[in-house]
Amino acid sequence: MTPRGRFAPSPTGPLHFGSLVAAVASFADARAAGGAWRLRIDDVDAARARGDAADAIVATLARHGFSWDGDVTRQTARIARYDAAFATLMRQGALYPCRCTRSELADAPLSAAGERVYPGRCRERNVDPDAGAVAWRVRVGDAVIAFDDRVQGRVTQPLASEVGDFVVKRNDGLYAYQLAVVVDDADDAITDVVRGADLLASTPRQILLQRLLGLATPRYLHVPVAINARGDKLAKQTGARALDGDPVAALAAAWRFLGQAPLEATPSTPAAFWRDVLGAWSPSHVPPVNVAPCPPGFG
């Protein structure tokens, strides 16, 4: 099977160095193997999306020499596919409605990843889904999900104690990332998901949904997340700088951040950068850590 990778940024702001790291790793991994690379805008969370951000992200990627196969896709154009997956889970009896508020869950225990573990309060309640807004949760039961990450190694997560029953459709009617990304990757026949380690803990949830929906599980590779001097993940909310400087310098910095072999000479253009580095891409050189400091000047 021809490898297929993807990059799926959320349009909450301009592309920054942290996003570039994930894009570089994903693109290099797919292209070095002679595979396809797809670009998707993960805008299912419409409340957080900025109207101008998606076009700006696409333009920034093009300026940095990325090329993708096929059209750019958007989650907001794929709601019918999420509806179908949701209906399948409903038929299986895998879902139940939940009226728990954030304040009611404020005392729920924290997982090792710092997330609140849902205590199952609505699992046995007779919640009427037609009497006001409800969220819909997946019953995780006693599922223990294990997979081999290509960088981070063996990951094992007992979902009940680390996550609890999780939301696939929010009380505002929007589908949760977990369900949308599983459907998207399956429909696009993605074989390799390469992304930041901040999403490592959510991977077992996605694997559970893949199994419930009868979908293939891709290989996973989670790269370190860039953090600023305060220890915060680079993001719009933490004031991460937009990529508005020399694209070759940014690409080279991302390449070094990923632990790859140093460039023998500085390429003159992004196209020259990609010609020089693709043959040298080595996932085994990616540091098996969750976070790493952002290079000076890119935070």
d(CA 67, CA 142): 43
| 182 in a structural domain | yes
Amino acid at 116: R
Going by DSSP bridges, is the β-strand pair 135-138/166-169 parallel, antiparallel, or unpaired? Answer: antiparallel
Residues 114 and 59 in one domain: no
The region of weakest confidence among 10-14, 21-25, 37-41, 192-196 is 10-14
State which residues form the domain around 169.
78-223
Which pLDDT belongs to residue 15?
93
pLDDT on residue 131: 83
Q: For residue 170, what is the domain's CATH number?
A: 3.40.50.620
Question: Is the Cβ–Cβ distance between 47 and 15 less than 8 Å?
Answer: no
Residues 84 and 65 grouped into a single domain: no
Which one, of 2, 41, 1, 4, lies nearest residue 192 by Cα? 4
Helix (H, G, I), strand (E, B) or coil at 149: strand
| Tens-digit pLDDT profile for residues 53-92 | 999 999 999 999 999 999 999 999 999 999 999 999 999 9
pLDDT computed for residue 156 by the predictor: 97
**Three-class SS state of 229:** coil
Q: Is residue 298 part of a domain?
A: no
pLDDT at position 236: 72
98 and 211 belong to one structural domain: yes
Judgement on whether residues 240 and 261 belong to the same structural domain of the protein: yes
Residue 204 lies inside a defined structural domain of this protein = yes
Percent of the residues in the chain that have a pLDDT greater than 90, as a whole number = 80
Query: Residue 255 CB: number of other CB atoms within 10 A?
Result: 22
pLDDT at 111: 86
In a domain, 191, yes or no: yes
Please provide the average confidence, as pLDDT, over all residues in the chain. Answer: 94
